[in-house]
Amino acid sequence: MNDTSAFIIKLAVDSWHLTVQRFNTLLESLNDETLLREIAPDRNRGIYLLGHLAAVHDRMLTLLNFSERMYPHLDEPFLDKADDKTADYPGIAELKSQWHEVNKALSSHFNQLSTDEWLQKHSAVSTEDFAKEPHRNRLNVLHSRTNHLSYHYGQLRLLKSSDNG
């Protein structure tokens, strides 16, 4: 463990934060009416992607052994089920607030982790498996979730009318 390792990890954490920031800039440019639209015919609506991402990021709190979940009730509508266009979803303002709160909590934990701690196992792998597969660590979850966010960011971008995203 040395400064080089910490510097390299910071590049990944910065990439996470940049992706969250870009997503938030896009989110703020879309009004509630637009977020209730489908990203493409018969596909997920903006509100579903927002709730889905809030749920997935909330699950990171336990997956990374940081804390209890903040909003476990998001799983049922936004992870277990597909976008139900007749369902009574939480309001967009509420979902946005939860999205921002969970990312704030994650960032606060990220900023406190040492290199050793980043390389510790996540909660979905057993100690035995982790001994054989040491890449199943917190940092790997960070990479995976950054890509997951970029994936849905590319989709949400389709709701913006002024560019060809």
Contact positions vs a copy of itself (CB under 8 A): 1-2, 4-5, 7-12, 14-15, 19, 39-41, 43-44, 82-83, 115, 118-119, 134-135, 137, 139-140, 143-144, 146-148, 150-155, 157-158, 164-165
Which residues make beta-bridge pairs with 137? Answer: 121
- Is the CB of 82 or the CB of 124 nearer to a copy of itself? 82
Least Cβ distance, residue 70 to a copy of itself (angstroms):
25
- Is the CB of 12 or the CB of 105 nearer to a copy of itself? 12
Residue 38 φ then ψ, to 5°: -80, 145
Task: Give the type of residue at 81.
Answer: K
Least Cβ distance, residue 115 to a copy of itself (angstroms):
7
Least Cβ distance, residue 120 to a copy of itself (angstroms):
13
Least Cβ distance, residue 105 to a copy of itself (angstroms):
22
- Is the CB of 68 or the CB of 112 nearer to a copy of itself? 112
- Is the CB of 69 or the CB of 136 nearer to a copy of itself? 136
